[in-house]
Amino acid sequence: MNPHPLPADLTTAVKLGGEMGRKFADFDWAAHPLGPPRGWAAEIRTTVANTLTSRSPTIVFLRAPELYVWHNDAYLSLMGDNHPGALGRTARELWWDNWDEIGPILTGVLSTGVATWSHGLMLPVVSESAPRNFMFAVNPVLGSDGAVSAVMAAATAIADPVGPAARERAEQSAGLMKLDAAVQGAGSVAGLLEAILHSPFASGDAPAAAIGVIVDGEDHLQFEFAGALPAELRDRYHVARLDSPLVGVDVIATGRRMVIPDTLELPARYSHAVNDTAGSVRACVAQPLRAGSGRVVGVLTLLWPQTRRFTDSELELFARTADITASALDRIRLASREHRIAVDFQEHLLDLDRGSTAAVVAAVYQPAGEAIRVGGDWFSATGLDHPDRIGVSVGDVVGHGLPAAIVMSRLRAAVTVSALTAYDPASVLGALDRYALTVAGARCATVAYAAIDTSVEPARISYLCAGHPYPLLVLPEQGPVYLEAGRRSPVATSASDDASGEPGPAVYRRTDRTGGRDARPRVRPAQGRGRRVRGSACRIRVRRTAAPDDAPWWLPRRCGGARGASPPRRQSKLRHGRAGHCEACSRRARTAAGLAGDNRPAQARRNSAGGERSRHQRHRARERLRGPQDGGDRGLSPARRGVDQCQ
């Protein structure tokens, strides 16, 4: 409690001054440079009293040159972090970071006594942690001697440095930029409507909207609706003829905007539609949508359920919204036209033969989310030589787009023609292989072909898959079953070849190519090519080129006979993947290659090793693993440890 009583003119003011009145009364003015209020000049006490009871945010700067700060309750919300310690402090302490702008305003009023506005040099205040600039009227407080004894600054309004019109234009531009970004990402008319309605600025808070587009080559247009409209209205006005008595149709016909504050004021021509929609639409603005050529191709209609008057700025904004929408609609229509052409082309290529009654065939072409549906996938169903037989094929050409579709159409036709002359799937795909060799881009295509015969019980399915996924057989009252047999390599990739070699060659083969390693077969002649080979030993070093779990399978050359005998002098002919060798060599070859644990039948093991046992080669031969003459193949990992020998 302040021990020094206040003068009568301030006692009443502090009671009416709220929080700042109480703080003023409790403040220890005797310890402050201004001293107790009882000793202040009358004009200063009057200014403080008026400030305490005022509803306008006001600051009083007391005594020059210090300019001690005092403010009322109304200014509390503007002080931010500077409250509550602002009372009695100097202006320079409170606004030190803006003193270069604020100081000249206050000192100018002190020195000249001329009131001023803060204008662009506004006193910065803080509210809710967000800086704002207020316009202040800065007035002098004159003493009894005519000198300026204090300065009073009253906040008048939030400053608008650019003016309301400029600010509105800036907001419109920002809103239209957001709308443009949204509609450019739309892929359909429904997406355009969603973007427009999600922008209350561009749509004028319209709860519903519609876009009508002329159907190319037709005498009608299609409408799509979005927002708060009954389903029956959407269905009823989804399609309209170009001579219908509708607002949207007339806008397209004339190319002029229609602004309708109240639909009940429309001419009698529209009475049917007005009465039909009166419960949902009472005001609308319809803007023509023009293509890049300038031709009107559609209409954008914004709909309100109550009557409404539109300002010029709103109508200008709706016109710009229509321009943005028209640009996006032009892009969507072009993509839709290309998509429709692609669909017609692909469906024509994939038309099914409906002449056979052997089975019910259903097929659908579903692209993987691409706008252009042309591709290299196909299906076909062909009636064969018997009414109860059909041939079904599904295939895929390497690549995409129109080039793949052209190759696909040729291969599909080849399968169909081959199926008419050959029932066996192997024969059909064999003919396809031969034809594919003459078609650029046909190699490595995959196809699954099945011949279905329903004349027998149960129906018989003969099938063969050339690199294609397994067919799925769904039986009545049973689970689906994949048909995993009938496999072969893709189209035009199964050609065989012959190779010749003098005495001493070796053939090395492996299961695959892994990790980009060079897995080409390393075939080198034995030491002393064209000369006698001591004994009949096969000298081959197998260096593993794959990961430890990769098991290469390989084949030594034909052994020359009993130990110590000379190899045949004539040149032997080797076919890839086949040559004779002794049982001991076969066993030790599998051991070196990591196949010793193979438990298949002996014949299968010998065939997988690339050769068959010769009954004339029951001898004991010596075999050890040996590398090429240059000391080994660079870049290949060492062979498995150990040398197998037969003695």
CATH number where 408 lies: 3.60.40.10
Task: Give whichever of 92-101, 104-113, 484-493, 595-604 has the largest mean pLDDT.
Answer: 484-493
Instruction: Check whether 535 has a pLDDT greater than 50.
Output: no
**DSSP one-letter string for 175-193:** HHHHHHHHHHT--SHHHHH
Residue 187 neighbours by CB under 8 Å, 6+ apart? 332, 335
**Domain of residue 215, CATH code:** 3.30.450.40
pLDDT band with cut points at 50, 70 and 90 for residue 357:
low
The position carrying tokens 């400030």 is 51
Instruction: Check whether 399 has a pLDDT greater than 80.
Output: yes
- Tens-place pLDDT, residues 239-286: 998 889 999 999 999 999 999 999 999 999 999 999 999 889 999 999
Q: Are 359 and 307 contained in the same domain? A: no
69 domain-assigned: yes
How far is the CA of 70 from the CAs of 47, 55, 58, 503, in angstroms? 11, 15, 9, 115
Residue of 232 and 510 predicted with greater confidence = 232
- From first CA to last CA, the distance across the chain in angstroms is 121
Residue 542 and residue 592 in contact, taking contact as beta carbons nearer than 8 Å: yes
Q: Are 102 and 230 contained in the same domain? A: no
How far is the CA of 614 from the CAs of 535, 560, 592, in angstroms? 18, 12, 21
Q: In percent, how much of the chain has pLDDT > 70?
A: 66
**For the chain, what is the radius of gyration of the CA atoms?**
47
| Structural domain span for residue 425 | 351-496
Q: Are 424 and 378 contained in the same domain? A: yes
Q: Are 12 and 152 contained in the same domain? A: yes
Burial class (CB within 10 angstroms; exposed 0-12, middle 13-18, buried 19+) of 104: exposed
- Tens-place pLDDT, residues 339-348: 777 777 767 7
Using CA of residue 511, residue 517, residue 519, residue 522, what is the dihedral sign? negative
Give me the mean pLDDT over the 389-413 stretch. Answer: 88
Distance, in Å, from the CA atom of 339 to the CA atom of 333, rounded to the nearest integer, reads: 10
- Give me the amino acid identity at 540: I
175 domain-assigned: no
Q: Are 26 and 64 contained in the same domain? A: yes
User: What's residue 429's pLDDT?
Assistant: 92
Residue 346 and residue 365 in contact, taking contact as beta carbons nearer than 8 Å: yes
Distance, in Å, from the CA atom of 112 to the CA atom of 133, rounded to the nearest integer, reads: 25
Last residue of a domain, one of 496, 521, 544: 496
Q: Are 201 and 138 contained in the same domain? A: no
Phi, psi (5° rounding) for residue 645? -135, 145
86 domain-assigned: yes
**Domain of residue 91, CATH code:** 3.30.450.20
User: What's residue 536's pLDDT?
Assistant: 38
pLDDT band with cut points at 50, 70 and 90 for residue 547:
very low
Last residue of a domain, one of 268, 301, 335: 335
647 domain-assigned: no
The position carrying tokens 């001329």 is 114
Residue 43 neighbours by CB under 8 Å, 6+ apart? 141, 142, 143, 144, 149, 150
- Tens-place pLDDT, residues 59-89: 888 877 788 887 888 777 666 555 556 678 8
Q: Are 360 and 223 contained in the same domain? A: no
Q: Are 239 and 379 contained in the same domain? A: no
User: What's residue 209's pLDDT?
Assistant: 92
Give me the mean pLDDT over the 573-585 stretch. Answer: 42
Lowest mean pLDDT among 8-17, 216-225, 361-370, 385-394: 361-370
Helices (H), 5-98: 8-16, 18-26, 42-53, 76-79, 91-94
User: What's residue 299's pLDDT?
Assistant: 93
Instruction: Check whether 389 has a pLDDT greater than 60.
Output: yes
Residue 585 neighbours by CB under 8 Å, 6+ apart? 538, 556, 559, 621, 623, 646
Q: Are 330 and 361 contained in the same domain? A: no
Q: Are 66 and 40 contained in the same domain? A: yes
- Side-chain-side CA neighbours of 314 within 13 Å: the count stands at 14
401 domain-assigned: yes
3-state secondary structure of 258: strand
Total number of domains in the chain: 3
- Side-chain-side CA neighbours of 436 within 13 Å: the count stands at 29
User: What's residue 592's pLDDT?
Assistant: 45
Q: Are 215 and 156 contained in the same domain? A: no
pTM of the complete model beyond 0.85 = no
- Tens-place pLDDT, residues 286-295: 999 998 888 8
Instruction: Check whether 539 has a pLDDT greater than 90.
Output: no
427 domain-assigned: yes
- Tens-place pLDDT, residues 134-181: 677 888 888 878 888 888 888 765 555 555 666 667 777 777 788 888
Helix-then-strand count for the chain, H and E: 17, 25
358 domain-assigned: yes
Q: In percent, how much of the chain has pLDDT > 90?
A: 17
pLDDT band with cut points at 50, 70 and 90 for residue 618:
very low
Task: Give whichever of 143-152, 225-234, 531-540 has the largest mean pLDDT.
Answer: 225-234
User: What's residue 427's pLDDT?
Assistant: 92
239 domain-assigned: yes
- Tens-place pLDDT, residues 454-508: 888 888 899 999 999 989 888 877 888 888 888 999 999 866 666 666 665 566 6
Q: Are 304 and 374 contained in the same domain? A: no
- Side-chain-side CA neighbours of 560 within 13 Å: the count stands at 24
Residue of 189 and 549 predicted with greater confidence = 189
Give me the mean pLDDT over the 523-545 stretch. Answer: 40
Last residue of a domain, one of 132, 163, 194: 163
Instruction: Check whether 220 has a pLDDT greater than 80.
Output: yes
Instruction: Check whether 532 has a pLDDT greater than 90.
Output: no
Instruction: Check whether 607 has a pLDDT greater than 50.
Output: no
Lowest mean pLDDT among 329-333, 549-553, 581-585: 549-553
Lowest mean pLDDT among 50-59, 184-193, 430-439: 50-59
